Chains A and B, each alone.
Chain A
Amino acid sequence: MIAELGLAALWLAAALAGLQLVAGGLGLTTRGAVLGEAVRPVAVVQGLLALIAFACLIYVFAVTDLSVKLVALNSHSMKPLVFKIAGAWGNHEGSMLLWVTVMGLGGAFVALVEKRLPERTMLATLAGQAFVSLGFYAFLLIASNPFERLSPVPMEGNGLNPLLQDLGLAFHPPTLYLGYVGLSIAFSFAIGALVTREVGPAFAKAMRPWVLGAWIFLTVGITAGSYWAYYELGWGGWWFWDPVENASLMPWLAATALLHSCGVLAARNALRAWTIMLGVVAFSMSMIGTFLVRSGILTSVHAFAVDPQRGTFILALLAIYIGGALTLFGLRASTVTEGERFALVSREGALVFNNVMLSAILGIVLFGTLYPLVAEAMGAKVSVGPPYFNPMGALFAVPMLVVLMVGPLLRWRQDKFARIGKGLVIPAMLVAAMALGLVVVGGVALLPFLGLALAVGLAFASLLPLRGRNLRRTPLPIWGMVVAHFGIAVALFGMSSESAFSIEKLVAVRVGEVAQVGPWGVKLDAVEPVAGPNWTAMEARLLVRYGVGGKVLRVLPQSRSFWAPPQQTSESALLTRWNGQFYAVLGGEAPKAEGGDRWQLRLWWKPFAPLIWIGGLMIAFGGFLSLIGRVMADLRRIIAKDKIAWRRERQGR
């Protein structure tokens, strides 16, 4: 019953999205203006219905209703409840349903709270949102119905990919999805603005919180995903330039650029066409990324459903939405480009530079992700990895980081370097001191060298906008910027340190033997079998000690075997100290030929590695502060307006 209820809600939601599109479109014309009234309530109900459908899916997963095909294929009665629930979106159909649910709720939220946009732009925006949703509803209802029944009902389900049986990953996709789909709102705003030609500071101010919100989720999602890959895959790395990872990075790069150009548009009424363009590109990157990893067109270590037929369907959606939006852009953009002028050396100038660099990096990542496809079309199989992405990305990231030290100190419209020069003496000295120190240490490769040196300079420079301010009265968005930029320095330091100073060791030891990795002494104390709810594992007990006088600590890496479906995973063991992280993975039993009863251990010492993710979270937290600040300012403005209106009314009497 519940599955049918969910399907009915989905059909109804799709029908309402159709209504929303028609009413919104006609509402823009003079004769159909009255229809415009219906758009907001319809958008709200559409969002709620999508939510009901998603709730139904969670329910059938929670109770393991095996008569639903999707549950039978992806779940198992023996799974812990939290992973049963996560199973609802840990698959193709479920994640698409999550996608339309978030889109529907986003539209509903816009309909409820957005008061700043001109009414006509608002109608066009909600119609655009409905148009995009419709395609995804069609996709679900025609090509991948999540509520399809199965007959006969199997006795047991097929399980969930054991790699996904991890709390981090269970909640990582919804976070990213909130980001991807949040960008759909920016996309709809851009379309709405192109239709009505109303692009200006008011539009940018209305769009900015949505971009900011989506960007925060993306940042958290990417950070969490990176940490997940780091400890769960047991490879000891934190970024692999895998197509799935790139799929999340590309919209983030576009959204970061959009966030900054939105700021220019809001403050100075410049970069109009460019901001609209980024609004279209950011969501396009979300869709293209999703398409690339779901269509099976690129192979990836992350096992996703591979299905060329579905790929064709999503490609058609892409062609309609992105192609349509870019055509509209080509037709209309020239009518919205007039804006304020500014000098090269100015806040705007620095932000334009940042935008160009981010776009260049985006282009590099996109090209690298697609290149295997180009090569395959020409008959060669290649994979593109760090040797391409790292130096090419750095080529543009390094100048951007340098400008990042200066940009926030510049004034709008026009400025002189001489004015801010003094403030930069200390950061420059820090960079020089760090560089000198690294030369003395020696053996650090160019990229980590640049990263470490720039990180210390940026950490200091990012605090400079606070200089001379009353810290209590400093607006939250300024704090947000400072925290986010400081977070970049922190993350950069972590990344560079990890790549410059990591020590890795692969050893085969008997129980009782000691291995040394960097400052750590590692003793294999025992290897014993342990049982979990739906897996069994060999667990190694390692007694580890930092340096000579350190306390002896215990870590327990596991090699797990899941039986539904059968698969082996490595549970790495981590030990975090203030100056880095110890990382251990238990491999298999070493081959008998090499003496027997030895166990393979892979051990790492990664100085300052946790800063990578701490920095990522700081960046997101900076965005959060900005968002709070802006929303509070909006609320205050609305309240003040109401007060004035109220006073006038009273005086009128």
Chain B
Amino acid sequence: MSDTEHALNGTKRNLRWALWLPLVLFVGFVALVMVGLYRPADRNVASALVGKPMPQFDLPAALPGRPGLDSKVLANGKPHLVNIFASWCIPCRVEAPQLGALAKAGVPIEGISVRDTTENLHAFLDANGDPFQRIGADDDGKVQLALGSSGVPETYVVDGKGTIVYQHIGEIRPEHLGLLLEKLKEAQR
């Protein structure tokens, strides 16, 4: 063996502890992600539109004999819920009872039906109840995009001046009702 020869491999006795280093690092990793998983994180994505006025739109009626939806209606002095939905959307079925309950409690709910047909919409409302005062047909999804909404269902709380107070992404579950009512109350002030 020459002088230049080094023992790059072959762990010396005093380096044995190093064999446990990977495990120590991994335990640190697990601890870190445990904290991340269990800390109630702020997973709400705040829409850029919250606090801004509703975009102007005028949607034709989705069902014959029923009014369509004009954004001016939303500035009539009373708070509204605006619900974006579609008959082909499964979570929309899940939230239907909650919308029904809100309607019964006297909340004016306006619907925006996205890329739907009259027949399917009829079938959907017959099966799941019809909480809506007006339903506008957003056939090409333009209004939905203008609202910065990425999917169905989504629900907006709009105050009497037509300003968006709150955006709820995804289906409304029973546990969300309290929060929505509270936001509506805030909107009344």
Chain A residues with a Cβ under 8 A of chain B: 72-73, 154-158, 270-274, 277, 280-281, 284, 288, 291-292, 295-297, 306, 308, 311-312, 315, 318-319, 322-323, 326-327, 329-330, 333-334, 337-345, 348-349, 352, 370, 373-374, 376-377, 414, 536, 561, 563-568
Residue ID in chain B nearest A331 by CB atoms: B19
CB distance from B56 to the nearest CB of A (A): 13
Asked if B27 and A323 make an inter-chain contact with CB atoms under 8 angstroms apart, the answer reads: yes
Decide: A327 near B8, CB < 8 A? Known: A315-B34, A373-B33, A566-B115: no
26 A-B pairs (CB sep. < 8 Å):
A156-B88, A158-B88, A270-B9, A271-B9, A273-B11, A273-B19, A280-B22, A308-B37, A315-B30, A315-B34, A315-B37, A330-B20, A333-B11, A337-B10, A341-B5, A341-B7, A341-B8, A342-B5, A344-B6, A349-B8, A373-B33, A374-B32, A376-B36, A377-B36, A561-B140, A567-B151
Asked if B19 and A330 make an inter-chain contact with CB atoms under 8 angstroms apart, the answer reads: yes
Decide: A566 near B4, CB < 8 A? Known: A154-B90, A155-B88: no
**What residues of chain B lie closer than 8 Å to A306, measured between beta carbons?**
43
- Residues 1-55 of B at the A interface (beta carbon under 8 Å): 1-2, 4-11, 16, 19-20, 22-23, 26-27, 29-30, 32-37, 39, 41, 43
B120 near A: Cβ within 8 Å? yes
Asked if A297 and B36 make an inter-chain contact with CB atoms under 8 angstroms apart, the answer reads: yes
CB distance from A416 to the nearest CB of B (A): 9
CB distance from B19 to the nearest CB of A (A): 5
Give A348 to B152 CA distance when docked, in angstroms: 58
Asked if B8 and A344 make an inter-chain contact with CB atoms under 8 angstroms apart, the answer reads: yes
**What residues of chain A lie closer than 8 Å to B35, measured between beta carbons?**
377
Give A377 to B150 CA distance when docked, in angstroms: 29
**What residues of chain B lie closer than 8 Å to A318, measured between beta carbons?**
30
Residue ID in chain A nearest B120 by CB atoms: A155
Residue ID in chain A nearest B149 by CB atoms: A566
Q: Which 5 A-B pairs have the closest CB atoms?
A: A326-B23, A563-B115, A156-B88, A330-B20, A566-B141
Chain B residues with a Cβ under 8 A of chain A: 1-2, 4-11, 16, 19-20, 22-23, 26-27, 29-30, 32-37, 39, 41, 43, 87-90, 93, 114-115, 120, 123, 140-141, 144-145, 150-152
Asked if B120 and A373 make an inter-chain contact with CB atoms under 8 angstroms apart, the answer reads: no
CB distance from A194 to the nearest CB of B (A): 11
CB distance from B14 to the nearest CB of A (A): 12
CB distance from A418 to the nearest CB of B (A): 13
**What residues of chain B lie closer than 8 Å to A352, measured between beta carbons?**
8
**Residue from the list B1, B4, B16, B41 in contact with A345, Cβ < 8 A:** B4
**What residues of chain A lie closer than 8 Å to B123, measured between beta carbons?**
155
CB distance from B107 to the nearest CB of A (A): 25
**What residues of chain A lie closer than 8 Å to B141, measured between beta carbons?**
561, 563, 566
Q: Which of A297, A344, A565 has the most CB of B within 10 A?
A: A565
**What residues of chain A lie closer than 8 Å to B26, measured between beta carbons?**
284, 322-323, 326
**What residues of chain B lie closer than 8 Å to A338, measured between beta carbons?**
10
**What residues of chain A lie closer than 8 Å to B9, measured between beta carbons?**
270-272, 274, 337, 339-342
**What residues of chain A lie closer than 8 Å to B27, measured between beta carbons?**
323
Asked if A343 and B114 make an inter-chain contact with CB atoms under 8 angstroms apart, the answer reads: no
Give A568 to B11 CA distance when docked, in angstroms: 57
Given contacts A155-B120, A323-B27, A561-B140, 4 further A-B contacts (CB under 8 A): A288-B29, A296-B43, A323-B30, A568-B145
CB distance from A324 to the nearest CB of B (A): 10
Give A561 to B139 CA distance when docked, in angstroms: 12
Total inter-chain residue pairs, C-beta < 8 Å: 126
**What residues of chain A lie closer than 8 Å to B22, measured between beta carbons?**
277, 280-281, 326, 329-330
Give A321 to B134 CA distance when docked, in angstroms: 56
Asked if B152 and A565 make an inter-chain contact with CB atoms under 8 angstroms apart, the answer reads: yes
Asked if B151 and A566 make an inter-chain contact with CB atoms under 8 angstroms apart, the answer reads: yes
Asked if A295 and B88 make an inter-chain contact with CB atoms under 8 angstroms apart, the answer reads: no
Decide: A334 near B114, CB < 8 A? Known: A154-B90, A345-B4: no
CB distance from A171 to the nearest CB of B (A): 26
Give A337 to B12 CA distance when docked, in angstroms: 9
**What residues of chain B lie closer than 8 Å to A340, measured between beta carbons?**
9
Residue ID in chain B nearest A565 by CB atoms: B151
CB distance from B72 to the nearest CB of A (A): 21
Give A582 to B41 CA distance when docked, in angstroms: 42
Residue ID in chain B nearest A295 by CB atoms: B37
Give A281 to B29 CA distance when docked, in angstroms: 13
**What residues of chain A lie closer than 8 Å to B34, measured between beta carbons?**
315
Give A647 to B137 CA distance when docked, in angstroms: 84
**What residues of chain A lie closer than 8 Å to B88, measured between beta carbons?**
154-158, 564
**What residues of chain A lie closer than 8 Å to B93, measured between beta carbons?**
154
**What residues of chain A lie closer than 8 Å to B36, measured between beta carbons?**
297, 373, 376-377
CB distance from B5 to the nearest CB of A (A): 5
**What residues of chain A lie closer than 8 Å to B16, measured between beta carbons?**
334
Residue ID in chain B nearest A562 by CB atoms: B141
**Residue from the list B6, B7, B11, B43 in contact with A334, Cβ < 8 A:** B11
Give A566 to B84 CA distance when docked, in angstroms: 12
Asked if B19 and A348 make an inter-chain contact with CB atoms under 8 angstroms apart, the answer reads: no
**What residues of chain B lie closer than 8 Å to A567, measured between beta carbons?**
150-151
**What residues of chain A lie closer than 8 Å to B19, measured between beta carbons?**
273, 329-330, 333-334
CB distance from A365 to the nearest CB of B (A): 14
Asked if A312 and B37 make an inter-chain contact with CB atoms under 8 angstroms apart, the answer reads: yes
CB distance from A152 to the nearest CB of B (A): 9
Residue ID in chain B nearest A281 by CB atoms: B22
Asked if A373 and B32 make an inter-chain contact with CB atoms under 8 angstroms apart, the answer reads: yes
**What residues of chain B lie closer than 8 Å to A315, measured between beta carbons?**
30, 33-34, 37
CB distance from B36 to the nearest CB of A (A): 5
CB distance from B155 to the nearest CB of A (A): 16
**What residues of chain A lie closer than 8 Å to B114, measured between beta carbons?**
566
Give A268 to B7 CA distance when docked, in angstroms: 14
Give A342 to B9 CA distance when docked, in angstroms: 8
Asked if A566 and B90 make an inter-chain contact with CB atoms under 8 angstroms apart, the answer reads: no
CB distance from A313 to the nearest CB of B (A): 11
